[in-house]
């Protein structure tokens, strides 16, 4: 194990970059890079604008989660309310919007839980993580073509579900665990 704190020998230099696909949700870029040892290699990158998610927690420690069909996995997943960022949008603003659209709640307090780099080997997506407290129901406003069901589940039960593998979505698990720590809870 090296004790050298210089990481310069890990840096790759981009020699060329080409967008080979431009989509509504992401672009795909193919890069040619020079490795630190002088050899060249290729990189395929999904360029994503990012997203935000939020775990709404009421005064009785119940959370409001969404179930929706996820096409890549051909099944319904349980997740925290979440959505993609508009270009230049602040993740907190996105999280607050998704909280309202998907659950019908507004929050007195929005707690910043940090960011999550989703899959750094090929994807540029970064998700802002938040928790919401002081909930007030004002009515749902789902996006056109978005079909989901909101469920109230105790936070303690969500921790068990994440621990037991019933929750598979990484942003959801991280939001649950970070919220428990931030609130100083132990289950």
Helix 170-182 vs helix 155-163: angle between axes, to the nearest 10 degrees? 130
- Domain extent at residue 15: 8-48
Same domain, 106 and 35: no
Instruction: Flag whether 2 is in a domain.
Output: no
CA atoms of 137 and 88, how far apart (whole Å): 28
pTM over 0.85: yes
Structure tokens given for 141: 């406003």
Instruction: Give 143-166 pLDDT, tens digit per residue.
Output: 777 899 999 999 999 999 999 999
Domain shared by 21 and 98, yes or no:
no
Q: What is the CATH number of the domain that holds 127?
A: 3.90.79.10
8-60 pLDDT, tens per residue? Answer: 889 999 999 999 999 999 999 999 999 999 999 999 999 999 999 999 999 99
Percent of the chain with pLDDT over 70: 98
Assess whether 12 and 41 both reside in one domain. Answer: yes
Phi, psi (deg, nearest 5) at residue 180? -55, -45
- What is the distance between the alpha carbons of residues 68 and 87, in angstroms, rounded to a whole number? 24
């Amino acid at each position: 194990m090296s004790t050298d704190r210089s990481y310069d020998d890990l840096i790759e230099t981009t020699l060329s970059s080409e967008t080979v696909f431009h989509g509504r949700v992401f672009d795909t870029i193919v890069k040619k890079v020079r490795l630190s040892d002088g050899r060249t290699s290729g990189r395929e990158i999904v360029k994503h604008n990012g997203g935000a998610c939020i775990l709404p927690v009421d005064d009785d420690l119940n959370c409001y989660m969404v179930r929706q069909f996820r096409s890549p996995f051909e099944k319904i997943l349980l997740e925290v309310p979440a959505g993609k960022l508009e270009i230049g949008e602040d993740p907190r603003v996105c999280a607050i919007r998704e909280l309202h659209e998907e659950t019908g709640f507004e929050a007195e307090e929005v707690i910043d839980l940090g960011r999550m780099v989703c899959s750094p080997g090929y994807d540029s997506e970064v998700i802002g993580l938040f928790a919401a407290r002081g909930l007030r129901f004002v009515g749902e406003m789902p996006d056109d073509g978005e079909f989901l069901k909101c469920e109230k589940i105790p936070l303690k039960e969500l921790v068990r579900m994440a621990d037991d593998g019933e929750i598979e979505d990484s942003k959801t698990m991280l939001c649950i665990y970070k919220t428990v720590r931030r609130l100083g809870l132990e289950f």
